[in-house]
Amino acid sequence: MANANAEIGVIGGSGFYSFLEDVTEVQIDTPYGSPSDSLFLGEVAGRKVAFLPRHGRGHHLPPHRINYRANLWALRSVGARQVLGPCAVGGLRPDYGPGTLLVPDQLVDRTKAREQTYFDGLPLPDGSIPNVVHTTFADPYCPAGRAVALKAARGREWEPVDGGTLVVIEGPRFSTRAESKWFASAGWSVVGMTGHPEAVLARELGLCYTSLTLVTDLDAGAETGEGVSHTEVLRVFGENVGRLREVLFDAVGALPANEDRDCLCTHAHDGWDLGIELP
């Protein structure tokens, strides 16, 4: 634990760490409880990376039961300052079919019952009390991280969709047709279940967060069949997980050094007294 250190966090499935030869598993406890699983520390492209299986090993945690606060806190506590968050989504436009890689630049929160702030006025175990802090979130994703992710995808000849809106629903059920058509008519691009509060909690911790969404299906309002099935989602994800991993690893290697960051994420708390020490 004392030696645990990383520069970059990746929150994703087991496919992103299980093949690493030298992986160190560390269990991290946080003031907010336990993260989804151990952190798996390894090296990718000469960079120290902490992997966290978002749903836990064996995928036992549904999206609404993930301890997002503990996950981001744990990553920061081992030194990660930039986080890549790949996730599976449904496409809300017919031209965003299965296999589309979309790097969103906007987010809509349609979740209902998730802890989505560290600044809730409740004391931490060490007695410190977070102040009221209203975090700027107009641009929810790191512009530098987005640029790196887009370039990495193009480098693998996987032309990504540059920008778009990820709407995050509570789940674990998929959307109704009416909901899906509503999301599409609002001009939103893809729909998922885990992108929030992951993004805002990262911002609250001053972390750079980049979402890479992989479309596994057309959402109910954008297709004409029987609606989304979990089997289909898993099939498409399986087909694309290899190249998504390549893109992620290339992106890891191309992210700036933590000390060289000068994006809006690093200024999230300018002018605020947090009242607590970030890990």
Q: Rounded to the nearest whole angstrom, what is the least distance from the CB of residue 272 to Zn ion in the complex?
A: 17
- Tokens standing for 197? 């509060």
217 is catalytic: yes
SS3 9: strand
Which residue in the list 22, 109, 139, 217 is annotated as catalytic? 217
Q: Rounded to the nearest whole angstrom, what is the least distance from the CB of residue 277 to Zn ion in the complex?
A: 21
Q: Rounded to the nearest whole angstrom, what is the least distance from the CB of residue 86 to Zn ion in the complex?
A: 17
Residue 47 or 235: which CB sits closer to Zn ion?
47
Between CA 158 and CA 211 the distance in angstroms is 16
126 is catalytic: no
Residue 262 has a CB neighbour count (10 Å cut-off) of 9
Residue 99 has a CB neighbour count (10 Å cut-off) of 14
Quote the radius of gyration of the chain (alpha carbons, Å).
Answer: 18
Pick from 260, 209, 278, 211: which is nearest to 8 by CA?
209
Q: Rounded to the nearest whole angstrom, what is the least distance from the CB of residue 223 to Zn ion in the complex?
A: 35
Which residue in the list 219, 260, 262, 270 is annotated as catalytic? 219
Contact 119/130 with Cβ under 8 angstroms? yes
Residues that bind Zn ion (CB under 5 A): 142, 208, 263, 265
Residue 177 or 267: which CB sits closer to Zn ion?
267
Residue 202 or 233: which CB sits closer to Zn ion?
202
Catalytic residues: 217, 219
